[in-house]
Each structure stands twice: as structure tokens, then as C-alpha cells.
Structure 1
Amino acid sequence: MNNYTTIVSREICVERTGDRMPIETKNEIMASNLSFTYYGSETPALNHLDFCINQGDFVLITGMSGCGKSTLASIMAGFLRDQEHGEMSGEVVVKGTKAKPVEELAGTIGVIQQDPDSQLCTFTVKEEIAFGPENLCLEVAEIERRVDQAAKQVNIQVLIERENHTLSGGQKQRVAIASILAMEPAILILDEPTANLDPQGTQEVVRTLEMINKCTDHTVIVIEHRIERFLALANRLFVMEKGRLIYDGEPIAGLSVYQKCMWEAGKVSRKSLMLHRQLKEPKQQNSMTVASNTRGKPLLEGKDLCYYIEQKKVLDAITFKIRAGELVAIMGNNGSGKTSLFLTLLGIYRAHAGELFMHGKSITTDDVGERAKHIGLLFQNPNHQIFEKTVADEMKMPSQFLREEPVDEEIVEGLLERLSLQAYKNKPPFLLSQGEKKRLTLATLLTYQPEILLLDEPMAGQDQRHLDLLLQILLEYCQRGNSCIVACHLPEVVLEYFDRVLFMEDGKLLYDDVPSLVFHKLAKKGYVEFEMTDKNAQMVGDGNEN
């Protein structure tokens, strides 16, 4: 970036428009020639960054998966330090002082990480939200006020007495956000805060951040792939590429830089995806029965599946059929039972009632090891299924137990290249970003090729290029006669590419039909997040009739 662009971007960040209250501009975070290289990596994660973030800024940081966004957040918050996790050069100054260890910044910077499990440290939701204020040595009455306020801000009052381990991934993410809000830090850094949230939860988080930023002089920094959610709130946009800051300025003006970056990176996968869409048979929008009958015989069938956690029925008489060749989305609000259903299908949870069939044969009594030969599960949190010392070894590991023959090295090499993991082949998996870890865990399933893939939020943390690539891979997989069931919170993606939707609500299977009909029913039922998708589906339907 030239000096002129830097100066202009810094002037832009001082200006305020609309109903925002004018504030005295102060430097909150400054970086000068900042670089960082993790131990074990030959390529810098950050490469000579220079920027200044002012008090009251709302900064949106985006870029391809693995470009250094999370590393930058960790350095600003004091999680990463020189000679501890890697080698750092240059400097970061927070509120006029060189960056301190995270424990010394607790009241100044609050960080919501990509992985909520790594952030939760107490037993119950209430204890989690109170943990930060308690360590700030606040009065009991003030702690109680902050707990109540933070729970309301992200709409988790009904969860306040729940134990953390009983929560879904999206619910944990809300709790993590509330626990940081309760500390009322001057600077908020949120690393993909909506990645695991349902549309309603996403709207609540966006509204909360807007309120905090507009009504106070708090600085908000959001790292996000789906930037459209935050564009109206941000006054600064950072676009990163391969550890460098390639744009720092006004968000709308920076969209062309971001779009060019993503388009160039995703040309091949996008063309292939369009071809697969053309080859894919036209979706039947009138009836699930017609749509299902165009596929093969049932691969997996559940009848009246029930499961309880602490006397709460989290799966309530779930009945469904998955046919060969189907790409099926499972949708529903956080805590509706999606992950519990996946864990029950694989046998990690043992159904308390009901039956499960594979190729018409009951597998209800089969253990996890037997089911895993035919059913592969990608966990919502990739850290829960990474075990080996290198990326290549991780990819081969499941095949050692679930295949009769060793995995072909050409398959491993091909997947590494295709999923943008080749550079990490001999590196530790925990050097990867959250999005890269998700692609790695998908690759481990693809190496042994089970007939059914259960994918819990595989699209979270993926930039547009890799989202296109994942869809392409799933379409190919289904065209070979396999089936994929994907937990997803992206209605527009489901409408365009998926054959069917299983929509869950409070542990029940509310709808099982083609996407357009499910979204129409949900819009009529009051799910406002599906109204626009329903209108788009109707427009497509009208166009097909002409």
C-alpha cells in the first residue's frame, strides 16, 4: 500500500456520518512493520503490516481462509508473543503502550475466538458470563447486572442455568460473546462471531454490535468472510491476502478489491461448479415425493429416533429416508437437535428409542466402529477430530482403521492440492486456520469414501472460493451414488444446490421437502430470515413456468 492510500484511509476513519455521536479521535491500536512467522512454518503468517485503528472505529477484516486474519487478532489481543509461539518483528501499540500479555489486557480488549469451546472454562452459562467480571473484582450487584444485560444482548436468558457441555455449537458461541460483553472492554475483537449461528442469532449479534459501537465510543473489530452482514456498520475495511494488508479504507470502495481477489482465486472451482449445476437434473419444486423418486434406493432410514439429555428429549420421534445420490440440508435454529441427530446416526449417542436402517438392514445395535465404515462424520468443531502430528498423516489415519487396503498416495496428494492444503502437508494441523481445519477433516473422510457423509457446518469459516469448492466436491460425491447430509445456516446456498431440506425445531422434524417449499412454509410460519429466499424461489418458479 502506498503512503497516499494509508493517509487517505486514516482520514476516512476519523469521519462520522448519520446518527453516530461525534467523538474525539484517539489511536487505539497501531501496527508498524508487523510480521509474524509460526514455529514450524516457512511462510510468514503476517508480512509487514502497517495500520492505525482509532477509538470508535468499526473495522471489518476479511480475506481468503488462511490469509492471517486470526493471527492478527491474536497478536492485537496479546495471545501471540515473540519467541513463544513464533518469531515476531515490528511492533503493536495498544492505547499508547506496546502490546502486553493477554492477562494484562483483560479489561481493555475482549476477544471472541473462532472456537467457542476453547473459550469456555466454567460449568454453567451463568458462571461463564460472570467469570470475567468476577476477575475484575467488581461488586456482586454490578456482576449480576452485567450478567443479566449480556444474556439479554444475545438472547440467551433461557440458557442461563444450563450446563455448558449440554449446549449446541451455536449456543456456545452466543455464551462466549456474552461472557466478553459482560466485561465491557473498550475494544472488541470478534473472530467470525456468526460462523455457527442460525440466521436469527446472526441478526441479534449484528444488532448488539451496532448498538455498542453507535451508542458508546467502543472500538469494534470483526473478522468475517460473509462481509455483507456488517458492511452497513463498518467505517473501515481491511482486505488481507497471504499475510499482507492489500486494502485499508472505506468499505464500499474496497469491495472491488475484495471481489477481484476472491474472483481470481476461485475461477476454476466456480466454472466447475456452474458445470455441475447444469449437469444436475432440474429440481422438482412441487413435491418431495417426486423429487425423492428421481434418486436411487434408500441408503439410510431412521424411524422414530429418540434421544434424551438429562431428561430433556433432544430428538423426538425423528423419521426420514436418505436416498442414494441425494444432497440433503439439515437446518434449524441453534439447539434444535441437528448435531444430536448426527451423533445418533453415527452411534456416538445411542438412541433411546427407534430404529436405524442401512440398505434396508437394521444397524440399530451396531457400534460406532461398524457404522463408521459406511458413515463419515465431520464434527462442528474440527479440533475434536484432529490427532496426528502432520496434515498428511491426519488424512491417512481413518483409512488405517476403516479400509481393508491402505489409502492411495495419489488420492492424498490430489485432495491436498484441491483443498489448498498442499503447503501444510508435513506441518502440524494446529497451524491451520479454523476454515483450513474444516477442509482437512473433510479430506480425511474423502480418503476412505464412506457411502454417507454427515457434515456439521462444513461451510463455516470458508471464503467464497472454498465455499464454491466444497459445493463442487459434494455434488461430485453424490453423483457417484453416495449421499451427503449437511448442517447449514445458508438458505440461499441450500435453495440453489440442495435436493431436500430436513428442518428441525425443538428436537422434532418439522419439515422434510424440497427447499423452495420448506422455505415458503417457514416464511409463512414467521421465520423472517427465509422470506427473501422464499421470494427468490417464487421468482425462479414463475420463470420456469413461462
Structure 2
Amino acid sequence: MAHYQIEDVSFQYPNCSEKTLDHITITIEEGEFVLLCGSSGSGKTTMLRQLKREVRPEGNQSGSIYYRGTALEQLDERRSIEEIGMVFQDPDNQIVMNTVWQELTFGMENLGYSTAQMQRRVGELVQFFGMEEWLHLPIHELSGGQKQLVNLASVMTLRPRVLLLDEPSAQLDPIAAKEFIQLLSRINEEFSLTIIISEHRIEEVVPHATQLVMLNQGKIAYLGTPDQVMKQIWKDEDALFLPYLPSISQLYLGIEKVSDARAVPMSVKEGRRWLAGKQEQRQAAGKSLSEAVKVDGQHLEPLLTCKELYFTYDKNAPLVLKRLSLSIHEGEFFALLGANGSGKSTLLQQIAGAHKPQRGDILYAGKSLLRKSTVERSRMIGYVAQNPMLYFTRDTVREQLMDRLRRLGEHSSIEKLNELVARFDVESIMDKHPFDISGGQQQKIALMLVLLAEPKLLLLDEPTKGLDPISKHRLAELLEMIRTGGTTIVMVSHDIEFAASYASRCGLLFNGAMAAVEDTRSFLQSNYFYTTTIHRTVGDVLPEAITVKDVWEQWGN
């Protein structure tokens, strides 16, 4: 019996002229690992919400969805709650209790489980998830990765038969994201739990998937096994979906002739096994990339200098920043990397003026920022926070942007707004409420609101979070345009692939200070965990290569 039978489902939100889902038909068998991909607004989140009755959106719907042979709307409420679990993108939005223990037992308490049942289930899960040491900690003391584990564990206490996950790794650092996906794979393998997950970062997910669904404007563009779908996308030369392919798969498909008999490598292990047989490429790999990527930031004057910063949010709490020193050169694109909770966002907030360091100084063009007013600082520095919801106070995107334009007065123009609307491709959502658009679209609008002021220093906290590959490329083009126009960019990110392709320098923040600061290529070459999938795969053969483009350049493709 199929776990889900989705038959000709269409869905349209109220007051929306276009269908969000358009005649979707999919069969999902028990124990499958299904990966949903597509651009922001393609219908992934809506599709997931259709599969759990309690979170179904309001709107016009047609077609049928069956859960294990029963129409979803006729499914017993308790059975729906217990058997269909869901984990959302933002870890904080799903947590309702103060401690880990309380959060894990919350769902069971509401369903009337006995104390003995709750203790037994929590005891099992805590050991399976490796959560023993922080079981009784307050939630606010946990990292983003730990919070997302709590969300997953709290769902698993009800012993679901299916897990729905909406971009669960979007806010996790690379190591935490990898561990989270590996845990999902283990749950899928050991318990035959059906997993349906939407993700933009598919590099880590696709090796575990049994079925890949590519959505475009609410329709299924591609459906099949990952191997089948990737080969078809490559044959079609589909520019919309080629960027979604894992970098190792792109490398393979760009070199080898596509064959139904040979599987496309999707992981580092598979990629290295394939490369072992490419002796001719090993011998041809002698071309140096160093000249093409030489960074001249050391010859530029520092625009911003952080001098031995110390900061803590509470005098009784550990220091978040400890003797942190960093120079940012005018005109560069600097990527700040590090684990969740390492202090990256705190450093940006220090520079933006949201907090003042207890010790140390921040210099802008040689003058202390700490002595400047908030208004003075805002004319020089633009800051885009991690949560785009903070920027929305109006009923439509258009009203929000126009309100910002009016407030800026002579410091911006309608021409600038129209240019940003076109470059970010947001005309179709201009009359929607900011809360009714996807997370990736919200991220775009928040960035536009800041860019309207044309700041000379732009601080970005996780700007690619929730963006699909095409939108990331467009964002990179826009950032490069404003950088060449004289704007210096400092970006906090977990997106190592994005940093590898576009940043001129990278820094690793650890234990409150900068553990390493180098040009991007040197930085990623020297790292083991904080590096690209391509470098892990070909590093022994091509030490300088960090992107697919690098490999093709060296191998003459």
C-alpha cells in the first residue's frame, strides 16, 4: 500500500491569480526518502503542508490525497497528529517550552500519555540522538543545530510513520547540517520511516534520496530517481535546474558521456572512486590557478578595523567575543564563517551599532564608529539581519518598499527601486503581504530595503538562507555589481559553496576570535571540514581546485 497517493492536486491561495500547485500527481511508497526541489515560491512548502491536515493552508483546492488508503480529510485526528510529523525551517518557531525535557514531553502530555510512557520514550530517544548531556538545559542555551535536533526528537516521541521537513538545515552551519541529514538517513534506514523533505542545499541530501521531485511554478518538471532526474536535466540542458545538481554530479556529467548503464556519482566517496580511474586527467592536471585568483586585498587600505573587541550579553555569562581583531579592506567581499553560536552575528551587530563592545574599538575609515550616532552610522553602513520578518510592517511588499523610499528621501530614487525589483525578479509578489511569501522571497525584500540607501559598507547575515540556486546566482551578480560600484561587503554565512564562488577573502570565527583569515582559495585549501565538496573530492589530484569551474579549467573542459 502506498504511503501517500497524491492525485491531480491543485491549490490556489485566496486573492492570488496563479495556482501554487498545478495538477500534482505523485505516489510515495512506505520507507521512501523523497526530496522536493525548486525555486523559492515553486510550491514546495505548500506541497508539504498539503500532506498534514493540521497545517493545511486555506484556499481553493482540487484533487485527492490519500494517506495509506484513507482520504486525508477523513483521517482520524489523533492518528494524523501521531503518524505524520513535521519539522519546519526555523528551529525557534517550533519550540514552545523552556527546557529540552519539557519540549520532548509536550506533545505526549497533550495526547494523554502516562508518565511511564513518556519517560520510556524520552529515555530511548535521548540516547539515540545523543542528547543526554543537555536534556535538562534551557532551550535558549542550545545552538541552532541542537534546537533542530530537539524539534526532530519531539516529533519522534510520537513514533510517526512519516516525517515532513521544510528546509530543516537552512539555518544550520555546514557540520550541523551534515549531521542532521545523516541522522535523517539513519532514521529512514533503521525504521523504514518515510521522509519527505524540501531543500535548497541538496548536496548532502540527494545521496540518501530514493525519489527526486523538481517543481517549477507549481508543476512537476522532473520526477524519478536522483540518477534518472539528473541525467535528464543534463540531456535537456535545462538552465533552470542545472544549478541544483550536486557539484560532484555536475563535474561527472561535464566530463563523461551520459550513459544509462553508469550511475552518476553524488557523494565525495563515489566521486573519488570515479576519479581513481581517470589517470589521464591526473597527469594533465598541471595548470595553476593561482594567478587567476590572486587577491590584492593586502594592497588596499582598511575601510573597517575591529581592534581587540570584547563583548558579552550578560556580565555573568561567558564572553562571546574575546580580543577579536579584524581588518576589512575597501572594495572586498569578505565571508565570515563559523559554527552556530560562535559569535558571527554578534560581530556584525557590533559593527552595525546594535551593541557596543565592553572593550576595544571599531574604526571606519580610520575614525571610531563608537563615537558616531545611529543616524550617522546608518548612512555609511547597511545591515541585513538574519530574520527578514523584522523589516515588515506594511500590508504589501510594494507598500513596504515605497515606505522605505519615502523615508530615505533624496538618498534614494524610484529608478533605484525599479532596478532592484527587476534584478531580484519580485514583480509577481509586489502586491502580496510580506508574511504570505516564501522565506527566500522575504530574504530578497529585506535586502532590497537596505540596498535602497546605497550604503558604502554592507553587512549581510546569512543572505543566501532560503534562496534557490538561481536566486543565489542573481544575488551574487547584484552583490558584485554594487561591490564594483564601491561598496564593501561583509557576509556571515554557512554557505561555503557560495563563499567559494564569490568571496575574495574568508575568515573563521572560533572561541570569540578569528582563528584564520586568508584569501578564499588558500582558506578553503587549508581546511578539512570548512571546505567545498569539490575540494574534498579532487584535492589530492588538483590541490588548488575548490569549484567545478576550477576543475574544468584545469582539465580543459
Quickly name the TM-score band, shorter chain normalised: 0.7 to 0.9
Q: Is 1:235 paired with 2:210? A: yes
Q: Could you tell me which residue of structure 1 aligns to residue 64 of structure 2?
A: 91
Q: Give the match's secondary structure for 2:361.
A: strand
Q: Could you tell me which residue of structure 1 aligns to residue 426 of structure 2?
A: 421
From 2, 8, 14, the equivalent of 1:39 is: 14
Structure 1, 169-178 or 68-77: larger mean CA deviation: 169-178
Q: After the TM superposition, which residues 346-385 of structure 1 pair with which residues of structure 2 at under 5 Å, given as runs?
A: 346-366=352-372, 368-385=374-391
Q: Is the 8 A contact 2:310 2:323 kept in 1?
A: yes
Tell me, in whole angstroms, the C-alpha distance in 1 between the residues paired with 2:69 and 2:443.
38
From 162, 175, 187, the equivalent of 1:187 is: 162
From 452, 455, 458, the equivalent of 2:457 is: 452
TM-fit CA distance, 1:326: 0.8
Tell me, in whole angstroms, the C-alpha distance in 1 between the residues paired with 2:374 and 2:147.
26
Structure 1, 185-194 or 197-206: larger mean CA deviation: 197-206
Tell me, in whole angstroms, the C-alpha distance in 1 between the residues paired with 2:325 and 2:440.
32
Q: Could you tell me which residue of structure 2 aligns to residue 317 of structure 1?
A: 323
Structure 1, 143-152 or 534-543: larger mean CA deviation: 534-543
Q: Is 1:493 paired with 2:498? A: yes
Q: Is 1:303 paired with 2:307? A: yes
Tell me, in whole angstroms, the C-alpha distance in 1 between the residues paired with 2:50 and 2:402.
33
1:247–1:265 distance in 2 versus 1, CA, 3 Å: closer
- The superposition leaves residues 258-311 of structure 1 with CA deviations (integer Å, 9 ceiling, x where unpaired) of 56789434899xxxxxxxxxxxx94336xxxxx32333x322221122221341
- The superposition leaves residues 367-415 of structure 1 with CA deviations (integer Å, 9 ceiling, x where unpaired) of 54543332222222222332221112222444444x3426422222221
Tell me, in whole angstroms, the C-alpha distance in 2 between the residues paired with 1:500 and 1:363.
23
Q: Is 1:30 paired with 2:30? A: no
From 211, 217, 220, the equivalent of 1:245 is: 220
Tell me, in whole angstroms, the C-alpha distance in 2 between the residues paired with 1:152 and 1:201.
18
TM-fit CA distance, 1:93: 2.1
1:141–1:177 distance in 2 versus 1, CA, 3 Å: same
Tell me, in whole angstroms, the C-alpha distance in 1 between the residues paired with 2:120 and 2:13.
41
Unaligned runs of 5+ in 2: 244-290
Identity across the alignment (%) = 29
Structure 1, 213-222 or 527-536: larger mean CA deviation: 527-536
Residue 294 of structure 2 aligns to which amino acid in structure 1? Q
From 502, 506, 522, the equivalent of 2:507 is: 502
Q: Is 1:474 paired with 2:474? A: no
Aligned Cα RMSD in Å?
A: 3.2
Q: Give the match's secondary structure for 1:309.
A: coil
From 17, 27, 39, the equivalent of 1:52 is: 27
Q: Is the 8 A contact 2:508 2:515 kept in 1?
A: yes
Q: Is the 8 A contact 1:173 1:196 kept in 2?
A: no
Q: Give the match's secondary structure for 2:442.
A: helix
Tell me, in whole angstroms, the C-alpha distance in 2 between the residues paired with 1:159 and 1:360.
45
Q: Is 1:532 paired with 2:536? A: yes
1:340–1:143 distance in 2 versus 1, CA, 3 Å: farther
- The superposition leaves residues 176-230 of structure 1 with CA deviations (integer Å, 9 ceiling, x where unpaired) of 3333233331110111122222221122112211111111121101111232322
Q: Give the match's secondary structure for 1:137.
A: coil
Q: Is 1:430 paired with 2:435? A: yes
TM-fit CA distance, 1:111: 1.0
From 138, 143, 166, the equivalent of 2:118 is: 143
Q: Give the match's secondary structure for 2:325.
A: strand
Q: Give the match's secondary structure for 1:229.
A: coil
Q: Could you tell me which residue of structure 2 aligns to residue 387 of structure 1?
A: 393
Q: Could you tell me which residue of structure 1 aligns to residue 98 of structure 2?
A: 123
Q: Is the 8 A contact 1:375 1:450 kept in 2?
A: yes
TM-fit CA distance, 1:508: 2.2
Structure 1, 362-371 or 112-121: larger mean CA deviation: 362-371
Q: After the TM superposition, which residues 55-74 of structure 1 pair with which residues of structure 2 at under 5 Å, given as runs?
A: 55-74=30-49
TM-fit CA distance, 1:241: 0.9
1:481–1:125 distance in 2 versus 1, CA, 3 Å: farther
Q: Is the 8 A contact 2:404 2:449 kept in 1?
A: yes
Residue 183 of structure 2 aligns to which amino acid in structure 1? T
Q: Is the 8 A contact 1:70 1:191 kept in 2?
A: yes
TM-fit CA distance, 1:538: 2.4
1:189–1:265 distance in 2 versus 1, CA, 3 Å: same
Structure 1, 180-189 or 360-369: larger mean CA deviation: 360-369
- The superposition leaves residues 301-344 of structure 1 with CA deviations (integer Å, 9 ceiling, x where unpaired) of 21122221341211112111112111000101111111122222
Q: Is the 8 A contact 1:47 1:243 kept in 2?
A: yes
Q: Is the 8 A contact 1:400 1:406 kept in 2?
A: no
Residue 396 of structure 2 aligns to which amino acid in structure 1? T
Q: Could you tell me which residue of structure 1 aligns to residue 517 of structure 2?
A: 512
Residue 356 of structure 1 aligns to which amino acid in structure 2? I
Tell me, in whole angstroms, the C-alpha distance in 1 between the residues paired with 2:512 and 2:236.
41
Tell me, in whole angstroms, the C-alpha distance in 2 between the residues paired with 1:460 and 1:412.
23
